[in-house]
Copies of this chain bind each other. A is one copy, B any other.
Amino acid sequence: MSKQELRVLGQDDGADGCCPGLLSAPLDEGQAAELAPLFKALGDPVRLRLLSMIASGAGGEVCVCDLTPAFDLSQPTISHHLKLLRQAGLIDSERRGTWVYYRLVPETTDRLAGVLTRPAPLEPGSVPLGAAE
């Protein structure tokens, strides 16, 4: 079992310094500037659908030739959206022969899931973590 599988998603990812939780402490400017483009890349319905098709593809990858027909959009438009997802580090690509194949970069989505995960339940009247002392 990999280290990743053992990670407890309910906990703040900040422990290793790599991924501060968005909900546990105020982000500084640098952290916010680094995270915002990742969320921005997800802020488009076509890119969300592309990412979900790639992530759920059998064998872990999807040929661009299988992505384009699913949309009423030109191939250059699809390529542009794929480029934005790749630049954000959400997907990776590999050319093999005629076609380009895309696969999810799970570390990136894991990271985003981690920063959106609450360190502890915030319920009415509860005291947020770190505010008790």
Contacts of A70 in B (CB 8 A): 26
- On chain A, the number of residues with a Cβ less than 8 Å from chain B's Cβ atoms is 58
Per-residue CB contact flags for chain A residues 114-133 toward chain B (1 = under 8 Å, else 0) read 10111001111011101100
Per-residue CB contact flags for chain A residues 60-102 toward chain B (1 = under 8 Å, else 0) read 1000000000100000000000000000000000000000000
Return A19 CB to nearest CB of chain B, in Å. Answer: 13
Return A24 CB to nearest CB of chain B, in Å. Answer: 6
B29 touches A49 (CB 8 A): yes
Q: Given A9-B9, A128-B60, A116 and B118 touching (CB < 8 A)?
A: no
Q: Report the Cα distance A91→B118, complex, angstroms.
A: 14
Per-residue CB contact flags for chain A residues 37-76 toward chain B (1 = under 8 Å, else 0) read 1011111111111011101111110000000001000000
Most buried by B among A51, A56, A58: A56
Q: In the complex, which residue of chain B has the Cβ closest to the Cβ of A48?
A: B32
